[in-house]
Amino acid sequence: MYKLLLIFLFFLTFNIYAQDANEILKKSEEKIKGIKSSYQEMMIKIVRPKWSKEMIMKGWSMGEDYFASVVLSPAKEKGIVFLKRENEVWNYIPSIERTIKLPPSMMMQNWMGTDFTNDDLVQRSSITDDYTNTIIGNETIDGLDCWIIELIPNEDAAVVWGKLVMWIDKKDYMQLKTQFFDEYDEMVSIMTGKAIKNFDGKKLPAIIEFVPLDKEGNKTIVERLVWKFDIDINERFFLPNYMKNLR
């Protein structure tokens, strides 16, 4: 009887912890995406062993399902529009005046030459619904006290990762570091948040660095120049037909 009680107690505490971790992640996600919508201007730098390339683009998002971006520079790629609509990906290329819907076979290819795949951007998996989350420790990063949260995908979730480990700071719920593991429990990439700034009243890391560990010397750096939240935007903005009007 005593033993049973102990086990019960153990599960109880475990549950409390899990809820806690979910709560933390939810807050942190809401902070990045805005409750309804967001607008951002960013510089993306692609680093390769022999060369590097910089792009500037604008992006709009609405909830989890809609995201659109348009390239501002380099000049040759200016006006290329990228649209995510639920789990579809569309491209508009002004030089050939064509709208292209990416076939599923191209989802694992790089997004605009970066280290992200198209699939990374489309992934609809929700951090709170598709993963079982546990706080596994505390650590201080750059003077900020962080929770370390382990995310293990549920069995029926359509997730490519085997496991995620996130560092989220206790005060502002910023995601400061994420490690991505494959199904063999091998770390495949690391994402780090740096240069904390105040965007539209929220403290967020302005620079995100994504390093794939299997490709030496490769790196993608995303720097947010402008970031606004809960802007006024209509769902019609994210229709494929509207893409050529984005500037």
Quote the least distance from Cβ 48 to another protein, whole Å: 7
Burial 47-79 (b: 16+ CB within 10 A, else e): beeeeeeebebbbbbbeeebbbbbbbeeeebbe
Q: Which residue has the tokens 């491209």?
A: 91
Task: Provide the H-helix boundaries in the chain.
Answer: 2-33, 118-122
Quote the least distance from Cβ 83 to another protein, whole Å: 15
Quote the least distance from Cβ 170 to another protein, whole Å: 38
Q: Please tell me whether residue 6 adopts helix, strand or coil conformation.
A: helix
CA distance 57 to 81: 9
* Residues that bind another protein in the complex, under the rule CB under 8 A: 46, 48, 50-51, 53, 74, 76-77, 80, 93, 95-98, 100, 112-114
Nearer to another protein (CB atom), residue 98 or residue 170:
98
Quote the least distance from Cβ 118 to another protein, whole Å: 14
CA distance 212 to 228: 29
CA distance 134 to 20: 8
Nearer to another protein (CB atom), residue 100 or residue 213:
100
Nearer to another protein (CB atom), residue 95 or residue 126:
95
Nearer to another protein (CB atom), residue 101 or residue 124:
101
